[in-house]
Amino acid sequence: MQNEYDYIVVGAGVVGLAITRSLAMKNKRVLLLERQDFGAAASGTNLGQLSVADRAAGLEIEMVKETFKAYAEVAAEYGLEYERKGGLCTLETEEDIAIAERLVAEKRAKGYNLELLYGDQVRKVEPWIENLKGGVYSPDEGRINPFKVNHWLLQEALDAGAIYLSHTEVLGFEEIEGGMACLSTEGTYTAGTVILATGSWSKELLKPYGIELPMGYIRGTAMVTQAFPKVMNGPVEDGAFFTGNVPDGDTIYFGGVQEENGTIVIAQANRAGEDYNTAIDNEDLTKMAKLFLSHYPALKDIQIVRAWSGNTTTTEDDEPFWGFSEELPRMFLAIAFKGAFSLAPAVGRRTADWLVDGSYDERYEKWSPLRVGRCEEEA
C-alpha cells in the first residue's frame, strides 16, 4: 500500500509535535496529521506557565526538569522567551493556608524548593499583589512563549525529515497486516504504529472501536491586556490547583502572567466542554477582570485587547493516558497531559525511546490506558 510510514502521529498540539520531532530525530519515517493547523487548539490557547509546585514527586517532576533542560538548550536559538524567575500559588482562605501548610511540609521532605508565605509576605515576591491570605512560592517556576515552542518543535521535526499535513482530518482507523491505516479526508495513510495525541477530540475518535476512556474537556477562557510596565515577576496561579481544593462545575480562577512584551495574560474561566464550543462568554470576562483587579487594583485602567477560549482535556483521576490501547494494539495514546508545556519535550523523547529502543520505565504503568480496565475488574 502507498503512503507507508513507521509512525503516524495524529494531532499537532505541543505533545504531538514533540513526539513527531523525537521520532524523526531517530531517523524514523513519520507523518503528522492535523485537522486544523499546528498549535491551533489547546496548545494555542495556553498561558505558557511552567509549573513545579503542583507536580507529583517522582516521574512527573523528573519529566518537568527534563523539559526545562530542553528549553534552556534551545531558548536563545529559537527565541522561546524562557524564564524561570519563580511562581506564586495564591491562597485566599484560612482553609487554603491550613492545607498548604501540610502540603508544603510534605513536598519539602521530598526535595521541593517551596516557601509558604503569609499575608503581605507575598509582596516580597510579587510587590504589586494585594488582598491574599498568603501564597506558596516556588523559585523554580517560570514562563515560556507557547507559540514559539510549537514553532521550534515543528521546525526541528521537519528538519529531521518528518512530513506534516495540515487540514487533514482523520476519520477512522483500520487494522492491517503489520500496522494500521488512518482514513482521512485527504486519503489513506499506513504505518506500523499510530500515535493519538488529539486532546479533547480523542474520545470521539476512539469510541467506535470500543475504547471508552473516562475523560472529557473543559472550555477555558483567558484574555490579554495592552502592554504595561513590569508588575508581575512570574506566573501567578490560583492556589486551588496546589491545594487540590478545585470546585466542580463552572468556576472563575485568579491567575496571570506578564509576557516579555509587557502584556498580561489573565486567566481563567472554566466551563464544562460541550460540542467543542470555543465561544467567549462576556459575563465570564467581567468576573475574571473583577477577580484579577481585587488583587491588582493598581491596574484598574488597563485595557483588555483580546480574549479567547480553548478546550482542555480532563480525566477522572487527573492523570494522562500514555501507552498502547488494548482494543487496537497498534494504537499508542498520548492524551491529557496536564500543563503540557511543562512536560511535552520529555514526553516526546521518552515516547520515542519507548517505541524505537524499547526503553521502558515501570513507573509509566500508572498512566497506562489499561488502568481503566484494571480498575473496573477490581471494582
Q: How far is CA 271 from CA 268, 274, 286, in A?
A: 10, 9, 15
User: What number is the average pLDDT over the span 3-28?
Assistant: 96
Mean pLDDT, the chain, whole residue set: 93
**Lowest-confidence range among 83-87, 108-112, 275-279, 335-339?**
275-279
Question: Comparing 62 with 276, which gets the higher pLDDT?
Answer: 62
What percentage of the chain's residues is helix, strand, coil (to nearest 5)? Answer: 35, 30, 35
C-beta of residue 98 within 8 angstroms of C-beta of residue 377: no
Q: What is the pLDDT of residues 201-260, one digit of tens each?
A: 999 999 999 999 999 999 999 999 999 999 999 999 999 989 987 766 689 999 999 999
What are 88-99's pLDDT values in tens digits? Answer: 999 999 999 999
Q: What is the pLDDT of residue 41?
A: 84
Digit-coded pLDDT (tens) for 128-151: 999 999 999 999 999 999 999 999
For residue 359, give Cα distances in angstroms to 17, 192, 307, 325, 350.
Answer: 20, 18, 42, 18, 8
* Confidence grade of residue 344 (pLDDT, cut at 50, 70, 90): very high
Cα separation, 238 vs 252, in Å, equals: 10
pLDDT of residue 288 exceeding 90, the answer is yes
Helix axes 59-78, 344-357, angle to 10 degrees: 110
So what's the pLDDT on residue 256? Answer: 94
Whole-number pLDDT of residue 129: 97
Confidence of residue 374 (pLDDT cuts 50, 70, 90): low
Cell of 328: 487496537
**Other beta carbons within 10 Å of 310:** 22
pLDDT at position 159:
98
The 10s digit of each residue's pLDDT in 32-85 is 999 999 998 888 888 889 999 989 999 999 999 999 999 999 999 999 999 999
Query: In whole angstroms, how far apart are CA 105 and each of 99, 109, 187, 212?
Result: 10, 6, 55, 38
Query: Nine-digit cell at 231?
Result: 508588575
pLDDT in tens, 149-159: 999 999 999 99
> Who contacts 249 (Cβ-Cβ below 8 Å, separation ≥6)?
272
Q: How far is CA 301 from CA 46, 108, 195, 280, 296, in A?
A: 25, 40, 47, 22, 11
Helices H, strands E: what count in the chain? 9, 19
Closest C-alpha to 178, from 158, 195, 192: 192
pLDDT for 1 equals 46
**Cα–Cα distance, 151 to 39 (Å, whole number):** 9
CB–CB of 125/269 below 8 Å?
no
Q: CB of 232 within 8 A of CB of 126?
A: yes
Peptide bond before residue 268 is cis, with ω within 30 degrees of 0: yes
Is residue 2's pLDDT more than 70? no
| pLDDT given at position 10 | 98
For 293-330, write each residue's pLDDT tens digit: 999 999 999 999 999 999 999 999 999 999 999 999 99
pTM: 0.94
Domains of the chain: 4-44+147-214+317-378 (3.50.50.60), 87-139+216-315 (3.30.9.10)
What confidence score (pLDDT) does residue 40 get? 86
pLDDT tens-digit profile of 247-273? 666 899 999 999 999 999 999 899 988
SS3 324: strand
pLDDT reading at 117 higher than 50: yes
| The pLDDT of residue 324 | 96
Indicate the length of the chain as a whole number: 379
* Beta bridge partners of residue 334, listed in sequence order: 322
